[in-house]
Amino acid sequence: MRFYFINWIVSNCCQSLKTSRYCYAPTHISMNHQEANTDARARGSLFQTRVQTAVRTPTEQKFIAGGVCRTNVQLTGKVAVVTGSNTGIGKETARELARKGARIYMACRDTQKGESAASEIRADTKNSQVLVRKLDLSDTKSIRAFAEGFLAEEKQLHILINNAGVFMCPYSKTADGFETHLGVNHLGHFLLTHLLLERLKESAPARVVNVSSVVHHVGKISFHDLQSEKNYSPFFAYSRSKLANVLFTHELAKRLQGTGVTTYAVHPGIVHTEVTRYSFLMHLLWKLFYPFFKSAWEGAQTNLYCALAEGLEPLSGKYFRDCKRAWMSPKGRNNKTAERLWDVSCELLGIQWK
């Protein structure tokens, strides 16, 4: 299994870039983007992008970095929630949304780290409306408390980015007894979206972005062992949860037709922050392939594209990578599986969501 995963990393490091009217190669804009961030903290936050760009050839830069969201959409008066935004992709997503003037809710498990990240973003973007709230997606009580507090505080919600997640962790269970990958990556965001959906509808047009992964292609939804109790593999538990994200997006889009709320599944690319937390092998791979992984800023671009790009409404429920629509596994658009997963998720969470 580990050799399979290594092969997946290497093969994904060599994906080519195809641009669209909203995205183009970072080599064309990286210096302009960096020069715009004159604040010392902002320069520090882009250090990794600069180093990786410096050690890549122009061709490698084009292939590896993928697309960059380019839109003039401004978000003054808009409200966004980004989960897992104290670090990595989520932090850079929150930063760019704040730069466009949105009121940002950074929903973080570690609020101390969240406040540190928010302080940096406020200083960088000169946007004081960057707020941190406690959200532990491994605990449904925390999810409900976050939603209750948010709904009491805000009358609008235009962008929900379900970004937080766990990656190839040892076998464990959430506070509610769910296998951790399924509980955090899928069920936690499923419940959060359910609790915030009416506010999204009231604020339409609005968007929900679910961060999935290319590994959804190898994921398998086994309803007889959905929580990996019989046979646990960190990689396949992770890939199952990412397939669940895609199926959720597919089914949610069907149920949201005519509401003005659209939803998209995203593969952000292979970003180093996702592959070093639990495994020495993953840490070693990061050291070996450092120049070939995306930076957090590069990884955030497809999140931003799906949240902001104009004209995506007809593509609700689809899967994106590198700021363009990508091929979704047939397993990810299987109506029967998506409907059953929806029903099972509601049953596990004790909710009714028709």
Six-digit token string for 187? 């069920």
The dihedral formed by the CA atoms of 247, 237, 13 and 90, expressed in degrees to the nearest 10: 70
Question: Which residues are CB-contacts of 174 (< 8 A; sequence separation ≥ 6)?
Answer: 138, 139, 180, 183, 184, 188
3-state secondary structure of 139: coil
**Is the Cβ–Cβ distance between 56 and 291 less than 8 Å?**
yes
Annotated catalytic residue within 22, 238, 264, 319:
238
Strand partners, 208: 160, 263
Four-residue CA torsion sign, 308, 68, 98, 76: negative
238 is catalytic: yes
Strand partners, 324: 321
CA 277 to chain centre: 17
- Residue-level length of the chain: 354
Q: Provide the annotated active-site residues.
A: 238
